[in-house]
Structure 1
């Protein structure tokens, strides 16, 4: 997708961000289950060098286009990496028909921290890369696949770093790290837009959820989060379906000193994995 974005999953709302290990909003009553009060926990320092190295590992496989050897090798590495941090890994294989008519073999990967915990949050990204560059900046190579360091790789790198941190800094909530496949295999034709040609993995997962009956309190989707001088606006689908969660995330970012990146600008709706 051709835009920088951090998106809130539609329909998932209600849990305080403090439940995921951040400071609570003192203007609200603490969330409870029975007589148990959910308390904030210390937040570990995010290691950007570690996250960057995870992006480099993905890029080293080459373009992660479905039905290719690089795609299969990266899939196996991702599952193995999550397992090395003690997470429970669920792989959901699926077949999907691309707009080109090609049948794609995809795999959605979910890595669960504390799978037994009743309170859960979902963090997601897509791990495939686009099969053609189709960029107006390069007519000579627009039909070649891309490495996807930013578009795909950066979100996955962040989630891998979160998985690594969870191993050494326990949290008091269940966390699911979900990697969607075949997000970027859509038809980039502005004249005859076809939104459902995109996000094939998330479309499949939303209709065949793994685990069965899965219902997190809320979800955050990372896509193209690693661009140089990135800024993040309040995107239309997120604000329409989960404005309270979106505003809470933006407020937290601003309180932490990242208001330059998380702006109050509102932008239009985007077709991405959170939409489906």
Structure 2
């Protein structure tokens, strides 16, 4: 069989061919533009290394050499990223009458930006593993409870510091790390001990955030909202919509949870509503920064996971997947502003 093409068909083919060639030439001449990323990549290996580094110093208990060394390292590390770093030293008495020297560490990315978001955490460790079944007076590593949140903040700071102006978020970011958060009186495990701060107007927990809330640094500090990270690095970590967070900063929960679900982290960020807890976000909310608490919730009825305030809170339970889910979600949230 022969296939015959008429004159009109031949003209049509030539015209189409010419149009396609012109389109190809225009495409070749057109400048290529890289699309702006939704958010830069969070490196979980780097965050894990930052966690391990803190644990390697030893328990970061106020008044200890490990505590001083860790604080000095944190200050130097943030400064190495070219960020503005401020220290806020203070003294306090703990529930058992111990006088401690402590310091909050405040780090600013894009300090000139009018719109600001705060990332809070605590960098100290509890001086005793009172929730441990066997070693209630032993010091603890605080790998998840403390170090993991600081590691996420460090990696966020590192990543942000590497972004050119054209790829920076539309907000400034303040990394505010509180000290002396964890030397509080636990009525469940320390009923035999007297809380010497009872009735003083000072909560035995969260001494650093209480001090900061009364002595804002920077002075007259304001932020559109804050996110408190606490216990964010353990394997199987689950984060819920906690009571104080819902009451004081529900719109922040919506931002973060929507970002997490867009990224595929719904297994970590659950829409379950859970009871209010006392944490640093209580005092940052009182200071006028609407703040949510992202912490590892336990569904067994204990609220906190079994490793909480126990020697099991060591580097062995840290999971890069949990670190990545939290860090990438926080960066995504910032870049959505």
TM-score, normalized by the shorter chain, greater than 0.5: yes
Aligned residues: 235
Report what 1:254 is aligned to.
261
Is residue 220 from structure 1 mapped to residue 227 from structure 2 by the alignment?
Answer: yes
Structure 1 length-normalised TM? 0.82
What does the per-residue CA deviation read over 1:146-198, in whole Å, with 9 as the maximum and x for residues that have no partner? 11110000000000000100111233321100100000000112359968100
Is residue 187 from structure 1 mapped to residue 181 from structure 2 by the alignment?
Answer: no
Confirm or deny: 8 A CA contact 1:41 1:171 kept in the other structure.
no
Aligned-partner Cα distance in 1 for 2:281–2:121: 10
Report what 2:101 is aligned to.
105
Report what 1:150 is aligned to.
144
User: Which of 211, 233, 237 does residue 240 from structure 2 map onto?
Assistant: 233
Aligned-partner Cα distance in 1 for 2:169–2:263: 20
User: Which of 123, 130, 150 does residue 126 from structure 2 map onto?
Assistant: 130
Q: CA deviation at 1:117?
A: 1.1
The secondary structure found in structure 1 opposite 2:76 is helix
Alignment of 1:1-276 (within 5 A): 42-136=38-132, 138-139=133-134, 141-169=135-163, 170-190=168-188, 196-276=203-283
What does the per-residue CA deviation read over 1:83-105, in whole Å, with 9 as the maximum and x for residues that have no partner? 00011000000011100111111
Aligned-partner Cα distance in 2 for 1:234–1:157: 23
Question: Where do 4+ consecutive residues of structure 1 move more than 3 Å?
Answer: 191-195
Aligned-partner Cα distance in 1 for 2:267–2:105: 33
Q: CA deviation at 1:245?
A: 1.3
What does the per-residue CA deviation read over 1:224-255, in whole Å, with 9 as the maximum and x for residues that have no partner? 00111001010000001111111221111112
Confirm or deny: 8 A CA contact 1:234 1:246 kept in the other structure.
yes
Aligned-partner Cα distance in 2 for 1:110–1:206: 13
Of Structure 1 and Structure 2, the greater strand share is in 1
Gaps of 5+ in 1: 1-39
Gaps of 5+ in 2: 1-35, 284-337
Confirm or deny: 8 A CA contact 1:99 1:197 kept in the other structure.
yes
Confirm or deny: 8 A CA contact 1:41 1:172 kept in the other structure.
no
What does the per-residue CA deviation read over 1:204-225, in whole Å, with 9 as the maximum and x for residues that have no partner? 0000000101000000000000
The secondary structure found in structure 2 opposite 1:196 is coil
The secondary structure found in structure 2 opposite 1:197 is coil
The secondary structure found in structure 1 opposite 2:154 is helix
Of Structure 1 and Structure 2, the greater helix share is in 2
Aligned-partner Cα distance in 1 for 2:69–2:114: 33
Aligned-partner Cα distance in 2 for 1:186–1:46: 33
Structure 2 length-normalised TM? 0.68
The secondary structure found in structure 1 opposite 2:203 is helix
Q: CA deviation at 1:41?
A: 6.1
